[in-house]
Amino acid sequence: MTGNRYLELMVSAIIDAPLRTAATGHSAKTPVRTPMRTATTLQKREPAPGPDGPVPVTQAFARGRSAVLLDQEGAVLAFPAATATATQLHFAIRHSSGLIHAAMPSTRLDELRIPDQWVSPSQNSGAGFTVAVDAADGITTGISAYDRAHTLRILADPASVATDLTRPGHVMPIRCAAGGFTARPRPWELAIDLVAAAGHPPVAVACRLIGEDGDTLDDRGAAAFARHHGLPVCESYRSGVASRPHLREVAAGVQFTATMSSTQGAQHE
């Protein structure tokens, strides 16, 4: 067989192969490509909100779930400290700077002998940060999601005493006004009021939400985040909250705080 004839037969076989495959109804086995597990596919999500979607904030807190609180500085993720879980802490750490706060009444911090974080007068922002704490027992290094959830439950437990905590640690309490949001309209006080209205001890887990660009989430980013994770949103600086009766309405199940309205959302489209 000449070289040219051999080449012609090889070309013919390559061309005819797909036709023979189609005629017999068999296809060549091709490898199945497994999708790459990216950071997005591995991302932890807040537990599903259920078939009815987001609920009023206090109803979410009553179930031990999370909510997003908005203020003029961005968005805060909050949930009751008394029911904090490792899964919730992992979620909070993943979507924040990693700094986890426990918003607490000033009197309770004094009972637990948790002093304020010292700062020079020129750098004092008035935020009310205290020395960070860890649980004295039941944890390892204190920094894991499991350990921080345990510390937060200790902080929320009315039976806890000063010796149940070590200082410094990995959870940073925030000293809040005794009068709550009425006395000092900040998301930290609002979180305490809503957690208490939901039937929990007045200690709230709180952290600033951070976007993929490393900056705090604005209204639009917070609304998208809440929709994606099925979380209710409290627009604290727009809602005009000024008195405790509003909180009683929330506890009764009235939709006092809701996700951003369609009109507000359209302004950002």
pTM of the model: 0.70
CA–CA gap between residue 54 and residue 226 (Å, rounded): 9
Residue range 245-256: mean pLDDT, rounded: 35
End-to-end CA distance of the chain: 72
At residue 111, does pLDDT exceed 80? yes
pLDDT digits (tens, 9 = 90+) for 92-105: 999 999 999 999 99
pLDDT band at 253 (very low <50, low <70, confident <90, very high): very low
pLDDT digits (tens, 9 = 90+) for 59-90: 999 999 999 999 888 999 999 999 999 999 99
What pLDDT was estimated at residue 56?
87
pLDDT digits (tens, 9 = 90+) for 178-230: 989 989 899 999 999 999 999 999 999 999 999 999 999 998 999 999 999 99
Residue range 244-263: mean pLDDT, rounded: 35
Alpha-carbon distances, residue 29 vs 19, 23, 26, 135, 153 (angstroms): 16, 16, 9, 58, 55
Residue range 149-157: mean pLDDT, rounded: 98
Non-local (6+) Cβ contacts of 217 within 8 A are 74, 75, 209, 210, 211, 225
